[in-house]
Protein backbone atom coordinates (compact mmCIF):
# COMPACT_ATOMS: atom_id res chain seq x y z
CA UNK A 1 0.00 0.00 0.00
CA UNK A 2 1.20 3.50 -0.64
CA UNK A 3 0.49 6.64 1.38
CA UNK A 4 -2.39 7.53 -0.95
CA UNK A 5 -4.28 4.29 -0.33
CA UNK A 6 -7.07 4.45 2.22
CA UNK A 7 -8.29 1.37 3.97
CA UNK A 8 -11.82 0.49 2.89
CA UNK A 9 -14.91 0.84 5.03
CA UNK A 10 -14.86 4.38 6.37
CA UNK A 11 -17.58 5.29 8.86
CA UNK A 12 -18.48 8.14 11.17
CA UNK A 13 -18.49 7.20 14.82
CA UNK A 14 -22.09 7.71 16.07
CA UNK A 15 -22.60 10.92 17.99
CA UNK A 16 -19.31 12.42 16.78
CA UNK A 17 -17.68 13.91 13.71
CA UNK A 18 -14.86 11.33 13.87
CA UNK A 19 -14.35 9.51 10.56
CA UNK A 20 -12.61 6.19 11.02
CA UNK A 21 -11.57 3.44 8.70
CA UNK A 22 -12.77 0.03 9.83
CA UNK A 23 -9.20 -1.18 10.11
CA UNK A 24 -6.99 0.48 12.68
CA UNK A 25 -3.77 -0.49 14.37
CA UNK A 26 -3.80 -2.28 17.74
CA UNK A 27 -0.62 -1.19 19.49
CA UNK A 28 -0.59 -3.77 22.30
CA UNK A 29 2.31 -5.76 20.84
CA UNK A 30 4.58 -2.73 20.50
CA UNK A 31 5.68 -3.39 24.08
CA UNK A 32 8.06 -6.17 24.99
CA UNK A 33 7.22 -9.85 25.59
CA UNK A 34 4.14 -10.32 27.73
CA UNK A 35 3.16 -6.71 26.92
CA UNK A 36 5.83 -5.64 29.41
CA UNK A 37 8.84 -3.38 29.03
CA UNK A 38 10.52 -2.11 25.91
CA UNK A 39 10.14 -3.91 22.59
CA UNK A 40 13.07 -6.16 21.66
CA UNK A 41 13.77 -4.00 18.61
CA UNK A 42 12.85 -0.32 18.96
CA UNK A 43 13.68 0.44 15.31
CA UNK A 44 11.19 -2.19 14.14
CA UNK A 45 8.49 -0.83 16.48
CA UNK A 46 9.08 2.68 15.12
CA UNK A 47 8.85 1.38 11.55
CA UNK A 48 5.56 -0.41 12.31
CA UNK A 49 3.98 2.80 13.59
CA UNK A 50 5.22 4.89 10.67
CA UNK A 51 4.17 2.29 8.12
CA UNK A 52 0.70 1.92 9.63
CA UNK A 53 0.03 5.65 9.30
CA UNK A 54 1.61 5.76 5.82
CA UNK A 55 -0.67 2.88 4.76
CA UNK A 56 -3.75 4.92 5.68
CA UNK A 57 -4.53 3.72 9.19
CA UNK A 58 -6.30 6.62 10.86
CA UNK A 59 -6.88 5.22 14.33
CA UNK A 60 -4.56 3.56 16.79
CA UNK A 61 -5.87 1.49 19.68
CA UNK A 62 -3.59 1.65 22.71
CA UNK A 63 -3.50 1.87 26.49
CA UNK A 64 -1.18 3.10 29.18
CA UNK A 65 -1.20 -0.37 30.72
CA UNK A 66 0.69 -1.72 27.70
CA UNK A 67 4.29 -1.77 28.83
CA UNK A 68 3.16 -0.20 31.22
CA UNK A 69 3.32 3.25 29.58
CA UNK A 70 5.87 2.02 27.01
CA UNK A 71 3.47 1.82 24.08
CA UNK A 72 1.92 5.26 24.63
CA UNK A 73 5.31 6.88 25.09
CA UNK A 74 6.57 5.23 21.89
CA UNK A 75 3.50 6.40 19.95
CA UNK A 76 4.08 9.94 21.23
CA UNK A 77 7.79 9.83 20.40
CA UNK A 78 7.20 8.61 16.84
CA UNK A 79 3.97 10.29 15.77
CA UNK A 80 3.58 13.49 17.83
CA UNK A 81 2.51 16.01 16.69
CA UNK A 82 -0.17 13.69 15.39
CA UNK A 83 -1.57 13.90 11.87
CA UNK A 84 -4.84 15.85 11.90
CA UNK A 85 -6.96 12.85 10.93
CA UNK A 86 -5.32 10.35 13.34
CA UNK A 87 -7.60 9.25 16.18
CA UNK A 88 -6.06 7.75 19.29
CA UNK A 89 -8.34 5.22 20.98
CA UNK A 90 -7.30 4.21 24.48
CA UNK A 91 -8.52 1.98 27.28
CA UNK A 92 -8.81 2.21 31.04
CA UNK A 93 -9.99 -0.27 33.66
CA UNK A 94 -6.83 -2.22 34.40
CA UNK A 95 -3.34 -1.58 35.70
CA UNK A 96 -0.22 -3.71 35.65
CA UNK A 97 1.10 -5.30 38.81
CA UNK A 98 4.81 -5.67 39.53
CA UNK A 99 4.62 -9.36 38.59
CA UNK A 100 3.35 -8.42 35.10
CA UNK A 101 -0.18 -9.20 36.25
CA UNK A 102 -3.36 -7.51 34.98
CA UNK A 103 -5.23 -5.97 37.90
CA UNK A 104 -8.72 -4.45 37.71
CA UNK A 105 -8.58 -0.68 38.28
CA UNK A 106 -12.19 0.43 38.32
CA UNK A 107 -12.50 2.81 41.24
CA UNK A 108 -13.25 6.44 40.48
CA UNK A 109 -9.72 7.48 41.46
CA UNK A 110 -8.08 4.71 39.42
CA UNK A 111 -10.09 5.69 36.34
CA UNK A 112 -9.16 9.37 36.77
CA UNK A 113 -5.48 8.41 37.16
CA UNK A 114 -5.67 6.20 34.07
CA UNK A 115 -7.14 8.97 31.93
CA UNK A 116 -4.54 11.45 33.21
CA UNK A 117 -1.74 8.97 32.53
CA UNK A 118 -2.95 8.32 28.98
CA UNK A 119 -3.17 12.06 28.31
CA UNK A 120 0.33 12.67 29.67
CA UNK A 121 2.05 9.73 27.98
CA UNK A 122 0.37 10.37 24.62
CA UNK A 123 1.01 14.12 24.80
CA UNK A 124 -2.65 14.98 24.36
CA UNK A 125 -5.00 17.48 25.97
CA UNK A 126 -8.11 15.49 24.99
CA UNK A 127 -8.72 11.80 24.36
CA UNK A 128 -11.06 11.25 21.42
CA UNK A 129 -12.20 7.79 22.52
CA UNK A 130 -11.73 6.03 25.86
CA UNK A 131 -12.95 2.47 26.25
CA UNK A 132 -13.68 1.10 29.70
CA UNK A 133 -12.21 -2.37 29.79
CA UNK A 134 -13.90 -4.80 32.15
CA UNK A 135 -13.88 -8.54 32.11
CA UNK A 136 -12.23 -11.61 33.42
CA UNK A 137 -13.06 -12.27 37.02
CA UNK A 138 -13.70 -8.62 37.87
CA UNK A 139 -17.27 -8.30 38.97
CA UNK A 140 -19.34 -5.16 39.11
CA UNK A 141 -18.27 -2.39 41.42
CA UNK A 142 -20.52 -0.53 43.81
CA UNK A 143 -21.79 2.85 42.68
CA UNK A 144 -21.47 4.84 39.50
CA UNK A 145 -18.23 5.51 37.63
CA UNK A 146 -19.68 8.77 36.30
Rounded Cα distance between 9 and 107, Å, is 36
Q: Which of 21, 25, 65, 66 is catalytic?
A: 66
| 130: helix, strand or coil | strand
Contacts of 4 by beta carbon, 8 Å cutoff, 6+ apart: none
* Active-site residue flag, 66: yes
Check residue 36 and report its DSSP letter.
B
Q: Are 79 and 107 in contact (CB under 8 A)?
A: no
| 95: helix, strand or coil | strand
Active-site residue list? 66
Amino acid sequence: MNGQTKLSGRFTLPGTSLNLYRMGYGAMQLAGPGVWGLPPNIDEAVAVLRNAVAAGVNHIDTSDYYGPTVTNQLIKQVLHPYPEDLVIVTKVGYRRGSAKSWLPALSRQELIQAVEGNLRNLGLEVLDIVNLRVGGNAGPIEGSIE
